[in-house]
Structure 1
Amino acid sequence: MGKIAFLFAGQGSQYAGMGKDLYENIPEVKSLFDSAEGIRPGTLTQMFSGTEEELKKTENTQPCLFLADYAGAIALEKNGIKADAVAGFSLGEVVAMAASKTLSTDEAFKLVCKRGKLMQTASEKVDGVMIAVMRMDKEELIQLCKEYEVYPVNFNCPGQIVVSGKAENIERLKEVLTEKKVRFVQLAVGGAFHTPYMAEASKGLKEELESEKLYNINKPYISIYANKTAKPYPDGREKVVETLTEQISNSVKWEETLTNMAQDGVDTFIECGPGKTLSGFVKRTIPGAKIYNVSDLDSLKLTTEELKNNA
């Protein structure tokens, strides 16, 4: 077996009840969740019984998903499965910060709460929408985006690019895609993320992180791959802050990230958190990769048993 990577899910994968059975059965997960509840009261109620609309609100989605994602990694580590590298999709990158010990767990949770609020505020200033466009020529789509003043933001895997922008412009693009018989799916997110409309949120998060009294940024003990560059994080506090904060208003190079991880020896990818979206991206990007996911006790048991049997 080659290297193992933990992948952390992003917005759109949330659902009420996520992480609940891990919380109830794994003491380390319970400790994480209870500590977070002390920092942000009401988080567990939102996670376990929040409405779809409540969980879709960015300032709620991000702290809730942070915990659900990180719970998967903690559960795996308790069962003797450790990562050689980590990457997180959008907000999942903050989870990767905690998993790589770049930030302490409490610091990472506080940061994701701040990130969610900043992005919520920015999203309220623009009626934004994101759609996943399937199986369209990349260059043709990029040209259409320029024409309709929207942005190709998430390069997920071969044949899937997410486009983000103002709702009115996205609607115009949808009409063209429909005429061209190109399939698209609207995402369950609350803003035009990873676009210049998030510049204010990016600036605010940078100001937050620049306070050394609030956040101690450590050298990661394992490789953490950045959305913005698709490469391992650079050394030095200033470069780490720049890479993490500029991610908010820049494209997510996920397909390239997975390719780089595979080239660096990763052949086993474990998605931590709700859903199997990232697992699907791996399947379409890295042929022959071993792919698992951990979102609850059943998937944890299945993953750990298969990995130990294949060791």
Structure 2
Amino acid sequence: MQKQRVVVVAPGRGCYNKEELGYLTRYHSDKRDFISEIDDYRAEHKQQPISKLDAENKYSFKLHTPGENASALIYACAAGDFMDIDLDKYDIVAVTGNSMGWYIALALAGALDPDAAIDVINTMGSMMAGGLIGGQLLYPEIDDNWQIDYQKIALIDGVIEQVNQHNGCELYTSINLGGYRVLAGNEAGLKQAEALLPQHDNRYPMRLYNHGAFHTPLMKEISEKGLSALDEDLFQRPDVPLIDGQGNIWSPYYCDLNELRDYTLSHQVTETYDFSKAIEVAVKEFAPDKIIVLGPGNTLAGPIAQELIKHNWFNWSSKQDFVDAQSSEPILIAMGLEEQRKLA
């Protein structure tokens, strides 16, 4: 049987929630050595083991959402899912990720070995353990059919411009996330944005709990700390093509490791992460038969589908096209969903 070509997408922060508690135990109890290596690393840094975090009786925002815990936990879940992909059935032609998922993608593609991966992910995830810098909020750019609403785009752009005219207020585009925009800024800027953006579906603008002002100039100090803390020799050429948050492809055949490190610890920390562009490049350059989204959770399937609809990929032009296609033979496989997991 001919293998199907797949692009694999790694998740970012905010995907390990109440429903995902116990994910490691449910799906990856056979990977004790891998999990133990992460726990040993965290023990050296006086941090709770991820195995214990995952085994808690009750999900806790205070315990499970801070970056110093969430990052390593999500990495372990996603990497475990990646290990479970059936390579007799699928040919992984490229790897990408959203936000923190870029660090995970580096590990999955082989640009970071397992020791380097937990070092980078845990270090960057723990940078704001002493206190968050700024925050993030989410707002849609699409209509009910998951088609681009250009008036909403103009509205968001106008709010950013208006907020930044106020003394002491900072607001930026943090992530282009399919049919959503993630905005980030300082508290004054976020409050202004919340006042200016019209309420939508009784959900938006939505503050993202325990999220800092990622991918904005407010993270300059975090970038500098990362560059100082993480050695240059941690990075190596990937085994699989990597697509970053600008839509650039890092190839196994040629990869400037200094540039890769600089992008990872500098540019993508302080500049907008264009996940939408990463997905566009993934499908247009690698023409996958399917896309596999790693768990935990399933927060990225909607944004990916919305980006594919924008480009009429797989002949999807609306939300209903996506729903109909997924009900028969899913092209977008979310490993965080029990019913789709077996397909991967």
Normalising by the residue count of structure 1, what TM-score does the alignment of the two structures yield? 0.86
* C-alpha contact (below 8 Å) 2:132/2:210 kept by paired residues: no
Q: How many residues align?
A: 292
Residue aligned with 2:81, SS: helix
Deviation string, structure 1 residues 202-229 (Cα, Å, up to 9, x no partner): 11222233443xx2x22112111111x2
Q: 1:82 Cα shift?
A: 4.2
* C-alpha contact (below 8 Å) 1:233/1:243 kept by paired residues: no
d(CA) in 2 for partners of 1:154, 1:206:
22
Structure 2 unpaired stretches of 5+? 44-48, 142-150, 164-169, 315-330
d(CA) in 1 for partners of 2:207, 2:90:
35
Structure number with higher helix proportion:
1
- In structure 2, relative to structure 1, the CA distance for the partners of 1:181 and 1:143 (3 Å cut) is farther
| Match among 7, 10, 20 for residue 8 of structure 1 | 10
d(CA) in 2 for partners of 1:103, 1:296:
27
**TM alignment of 1:28-67, pairs within 5 A:** 29-41=31-43, 42-49=49-56, 51-67=60-76
**TM alignment of 1:138-217, pairs within 5 A:** 138-148=153-163, 149-157=170-178, 159-178=179-198, 183-212=204-233, 215=234, 217=235
d(CA) in 2 for partners of 1:116, 1:47:
17
| Match among 219, 222, 226 for residue 240 of structure 2 | 222
d(CA) in 2 for partners of 1:80, 1:53:
40
d(CA) in 1 for partners of 2:38, 2:199:
47
Fraction of identical pairs, as percent: 16
d(CA) in 1 for partners of 2:63, 2:92:
32
* C-alpha contact (below 8 Å) 2:132/2:212 kept by paired residues: no
d(CA) in 2 for partners of 1:107, 1:131:
31
d(CA) in 2 for partners of 1:279, 1:68:
17
Deviation string, structure 1 residues 159-207 (Cα, Å, up to 9, x no partner): 3101111223212211111379994222233322211121111112222
Q: 1:80 Cα shift?
A: 5.0
- In structure 2, relative to structure 1, the CA distance for the partners of 1:236 and 1:137 (3 Å cut) is same
Q: 1:299 Cα shift?
A: 4.1
* C-alpha contact (below 8 Å) 1:129/1:191 kept by paired residues: yes
d(CA) in 2 for partners of 1:2, 1:232:
21
Deviation string, structure 1 residues 242-301 (Cα, Å, up to 9, x no partner): 111121221110111111111111341111012222111111111455200113765432
| Match among 97, 115, 118 for residue 88 of structure 1 | 97
Q: Output the amino acid matched with 2:54.
A: M
* Aligned-residue RMSD, C-alpha: 2.3
State the partner residue of 1:251: 272
1:294 aligns with 2:300: no
d(CA) in 2 for partners of 1:139, 1:104:
43
d(CA) in 2 for partners of 1:119, 1:77:
37
Q: Output the amino acid matched with 1:67.
A: A
d(CA) in 2 for partners of 1:73, 1:66:
10
Larger radius of gyration: 2
